Homo-oligomer: A and B are copies of this chain.
């Protein structure tokens, strides 16, 4: 886990990135609370105060770890999504893509709880009117595409499209939180998968407001 590239000179040369990577590693194993200036510095083999040449404070370092975490999560979800077959009935396909996105989200949370939690930490003390393109929005954008496709194929009613992200995102995010940090932690793997299936089924059914969805229900 320790960074292999030993420091050769007084000046590190890439300390900022090295610290950020170390911070991400700490986050992966211990969650955001484990992201510590002293810990990251120790990992890199440098004095704690050196970190202050590159990060304003611990929150700033955590932010860098968060960037890496979000990148990792986006990559994992993209990989998961890419395995969905791309041929077949358009409605089935759009639904399958939404399901895959949700499943990928939850699976990442369960497999990498530290990173997942790091993705969604630190919004508390963010400067007021700061970057509206907040991190953590990557899944949001991806979800938006899925919903657009659902509208295109007639599964989701167009009038229900605006603001439709909230529901599915909440369902998937909530289940992830309950599974890794909450009261559902510790349930068996089978129970876990059942909970995921039930939640996704409810979500998909809850979005079925379009004409194509009605037609399918009547069959």
Measured CB to CB, the residues of A under 8 A from B are: 33, 120-121, 123-124, 126, 134-137, 140, 163-164, 166-178, 181-186, 194-196, 198-199, 201-209
Which of the listed residues A166, A168, A202 has the most CB atoms from chain B within 10 Å of its own CB?
A166
CB of A12, distance to nearest CB on chain B (Å): 31
Q: Which of B163, B170, B186, B195 contacts A171 (CB 8 A)?
A: B170
Cβ contacts A to B, 23 pairs, < 8 Å: A120-B181, A123-B182, A123-B185, A123-B186, A136-B182, A140-B183, A163-B195, A164-B198, A166-B196, A167-B171, A167-B198, A167-B199, A167-B201, A170-B172, A170-B174, A171-B174, A171-B202, A173-B174, A173-B178, A174-B174, A177-B177, A205-B205, A206-B206
Determine how many copies of this chain the complex contains: 2
Q: Are B198 and A166 in contact (CB under 8 A)?
A: yes
The prevalent SS among residues of A at the interface is: helix
A180: min CB distance to chain B, Å: 9
Q: A164-B198, A203-B206, A206-B206 are in contact. Are A178 and B183 (CB under 8 A)?
A: no
Tell me the complex Cα distance, A163–B199, Å.
9
